[in-house]
Structure 1
Amino acid sequence: MPILTVKKERFWTLLGERLDDEELVNLLHDLALDVEEVSKEYFRVEYAPNRPDYSSPIGLARAAKGLLELEVGAPHYELQPSRTYIDVDPRLRNIRPYVVSAIIRGIKLDVDQLEEIITMQEDLHWILGRDRKKVAIGLHDLDAVKPPFHYIAVKGREARFTPLGYWREMTLEEILEKHEKGVQYAHIVKGKPYYPLIVDSRYEVLSFPPIINSTLTELSEETKNIFIEITG
C-alpha cells in the first residue's frame, strides 16, 4: 500500500484551517486512511490504491474539504484546444502504442511542490501503471523544447541523450545496462525490435519511456509551463 508524507503547515494552507492532532487523526480515519505517524511537523498515512487522488497533499486536502463541507463538488478546469500534437511511429504498434499529452501553462513551483509532484508521479506509476509496465508518466519543462513532438521507434544505439541523474550522454542500450532506472525497468522493453523515444521538432530527446527522462526538460523552480506525456 502506498504511503504519503504530508507537512502539516502545507496541509493547513490547503485545507484553509488548522486542526489539533486528535481532530487531524479523526479526520484522516474518516477519509479511510491508515495513520502511520503524526509528528510536530508532518503526518504519514497509508492509502488504498483505488484512491489515486490521495497521492498528493492537494488531493488529500480536497477530499478533506469536501468531508468537512468547506468546499464541495468537483474542481473545474478550463481546457483550451491544443495547438500542438504528437505524431506516432507506426512501428510502435506492438511495442508501446499509446500516448496522450497535456500542457499546463503559467504555474509557479517551489521546492516542496516539486517534491510532491515527483512523489505523486512515482506513486501513480505503481498504483495505476503496474510499476510502469502499463502506464508511465513524463513531466517536462515545455520551454526547454520546441513542439510539435514525435513518438518514434529507434534501435538501441541510434539515439543518445543525457538521462536524469547522470552527467553525460548515453545510448539507450547504455542506459538499460548502467543507469539505475534503466537496470530497474529494462525488462519492460528488452527483447523488443525497437525502443520508444519522445523527441521534439528538432529531435531533441525528452524521454525514453517508460525508463527515464532527459535532463534537458527537468522541472525546476523556474519552470513556468509543463508538458505531460503518458505512454502505455
Structure 2
Amino acid sequence: MPTITVNCEELFTGLGRKYTLKEFDELCFDFGLEVEAFEEKNDQGQMVVDETKFKVEVPANRYDLLCVEGLIRTLSIFIGSTKHAPRYKAITPTGQRPMQQLKILPATKQVRPFAVAAVLRDITFTADNYKSFIDLQEKLHQNICRKRTLVAIGTHDLDTLKGPFIYDAKPPAQIKFKPLNQTKEFTATEMMELYSLDSHLKPYLPIIRDKPVYPIIYDSNDVVLSMPPIINGEHSKISLKTKNVFIESTATDLTKAKIVLDTLVTMFSQYCAKPFEVEAVEVIQVDGTKVLYPELAYRKEVIDVMDVNDKIGINISAESMANLLTRMCLESKVIAGGKSLEVEVPPVRADILCL
C-alpha cells in the first residue's frame, strides 16, 4: 500500500491539537490507517527517528488520502473537529474572462485518445503545499495511473500560455521543444535518447517509444505544454509564484483520468482565493461534442439498514449507522421511518463503487 510522510506541525495545526505517536497511531487505527515513526539516515549512515514527521500507510484506492491536505480534511471530520466536508464546485468563468478550451485531434486515437482538463484559479503556493502538490502527482502516477500507462498528469503556469489548447499526436521527428529543466530544444527522437539515461524518466519511455506518433499538447501560439506521458515543457513550468494552474490529464482510460483530475483539484483548490471552487475547461472531442471538466459529481444512494446489518453481522440503529457513515465523509440521513439511509457519495470518494 502507498505511504505518505506528513509534517507533524502541519498535521497538528490542521487537526487542532498535538498528538504523540501513540495517540496518533490509535486515531489512525480507529479510522483504518497505519502509522509509524519516520526514520532516515543521519550523516553517519545510521537510521534515526525524525520526531517531526509521521509515516502513514493508506489503502491503495483512497486517492484522497495520498496528501496531507486530504488526510487532515478526512480525519478532522472523523474526530468531529470539522462538522461537514467542503462542497466542491466546478464553475464557469464570468465577465470578460473566456473559458479555456482543449481540442482533441483525431491522430491521438493512435496512441492516447482521452484528455481532461481544469484550472486552479488564484492559487497561493507555499514551499510546503507546492511540494505536496508535486508529491501527490507522483503518488497518483505510481498508483491509479499505473506508472503513467493509463493516465499522465501535466500542470502548467496558465499565465505563460494562450488558449485554446490543442491535443494532437505527431511523428516524433516533427516534435521539437525545450523540455522541463533543459536549456535547449530537442526533437522527440532526441529526447528518447536523452532520457534513456535518466533514472526517473527512463521507465516511461516504452509507453510511446515504438508508436508511429507521439502525444503533444500546445497552445494557440504553438508553445508546447507537454509530450505526455514523458515530459512537460520548460516554458510553462509552475513555480511558487504561479497563480493560475492549467491541469491536463491524457489517458488510455477515461474513467481513471476523471478520477485523477477530480482528486488533484479537490485536494488543492483549498488554496485558491475561492476555496474548493475549480474553473471548468471545455474539452472538444474528436467528434465535435463538448464536455466540461472536472465533473466533481455527487451522487446519492439509498441503502437498507437491516440488509447492511445482516451482511456485516452487526446490529446498530439507523441513526448510529448514519452517524458512522457521515464521519467517513459519506453524509447520510435516515429515511423511510428508519428502514433506509440516503447516503451522499462525494467526488473525492472514488473508492465507493456502489452501496
Instruction: Report the TM-score, using the length of structure 2 for normalisation.
Output: 0.63
Query: Which residue of the partner structure matches residue 215 of structure 2?
Result: 196
Please report how far the alpha carbon of residue 64 of structure 1 lies from its aligned counterpart in structure 2 after TM superposition.
0.7
Q: Structure 1 regions of 5+ residues with no counterpart?
A: none
Q: Which residue does the alignment assign to 1:10?
A: 10
Q: Post-superposition shift, 1:16?
A: 2.7
One-letter identity of the residue aligned with 1:133: T
- Aligned pair in 2 of structure 1 residues 37, 94: CA closer, same or farther (>3 Å)? same
Question: 1:156 — aligned with what?
Answer: 172
Q: Which residue matches 1:221? A: 240
Tell me the CA shift for residue 22 of structure 1: 2.2
Contact kept, 8 Å, 1:140 with 1:228, in 2: the verdict is yes
Q: Which moved more, 1:193-202 or 1:169-178?
A: 169-178
Instruction: State, as a whole percentage, how many aligned pairs show the same letter.
Output: 37
Structure 2 match to 1:30: 30
- Alpha-carbon separation, structure 2, partners of 1:183 and 1:193: 19
Q: CA deviation at 1:78?
A: 3.2
Aligned counterpart, 1:127: 143
Number of the residue aligned with 1:231: 250
SS in structure 2 at match of 1:41: strand
CA RMSD between the two structures: 1.5
Correspondence 1:211 to 2:227: no
SS of structure 1 residue aligned to 2:140: helix
Question: For the residues of structure 2 that align with 1:36 and 1:211, how far apart are their CA atoms?
Answer: 34
- Deviation, 1:216, is 1.3
- Give matches, 1:77-156, under 5 Å: 77-81=88-92, 83-156=99-172
Q: Deviations 1:176-206 (Å, cap 9, x if unpaired)?
A: 2212255321111122111000101101000
Asked if structure 1 preserves the Cα contact closer than 8 Å seen for 2:25 and 2:34, the reply is: no
Query: Aligned equivalents of 1:149 and 1:194: distance in 2?
Result: 19
Distance 1:157 1:104 in 2: 33
Question: Considering only CA atoms, is the larger Rg found in Structure 1 or Structure 2?
Answer: 2
Residue 140 of structure 1 contacts residue 206 of structure 1 at CA under 8 Å; is this kept in 2?
Answer: yes
1:55 lines up with 2:63 in the alignment: no
- Over 3 Å counting, the alpha-carbon distance change for 1:80 and 1:87 in structure 2 is same
Bigger shift: residues 7-16 or 196-205: 7-16
Deviations 1:89-137 (A, max 9, x none): 1011131000000001111101111111111001111111111000111
CA distance in 2, matches of 1:17, 1:155: 56
Moved beyond 4 Å, runs of 4+: none
Is residue 169 from structure 1 mapped to residue 182 from structure 2 by the alignment?
Answer: no
**Could you tell me how far 1:21 is from its partner in structure 2?**
2.7
Deviation at 1:144, TM superposition (A): 1.0
Q: Deviation at 1:149?
A: 0.3
Question: What's 2:349 paired with?
Answer: none
Q: Which residue of 1 aligns with 2:80?
A: 69
CA drift at 1:214: 1.0
Aligned partners of 2:180 and 2:233 also within 8 Å = yes
The DSSP-based 3-state class of the residue aligned with 1:176 is helix
Asked if the contact 2:21–2:37 (Cα under 8 Å) also holds between the matched residues in 1, the reply is: no
Bigger Cα displacement from structure 2, 181-190 vs 169-178: 181-190
Contact 1:175 1:183 in 2 (8 A): no
Give the SS at the match of 1:139.
strand
CA contact (8 A) 1:114 1:219 kept: no
1:43 aligned onto 2:54: yes
CA distance in 1, matches of 2:113, 2:68: 32
Aligned residues, how many? 232
Counterpart of 2:203 (choices 164, 179, 184) is 184
TM-score normalised by L of structure 1: 0.94
Question: Displacement, 1:29?
Answer: 2.1
Distance in 2 separating the partners of 1:148 and 1:223: 19
Once the two structures are TM-superposed, the CA of residue 4 in structure 1 deviates from its matched residue by 0.5
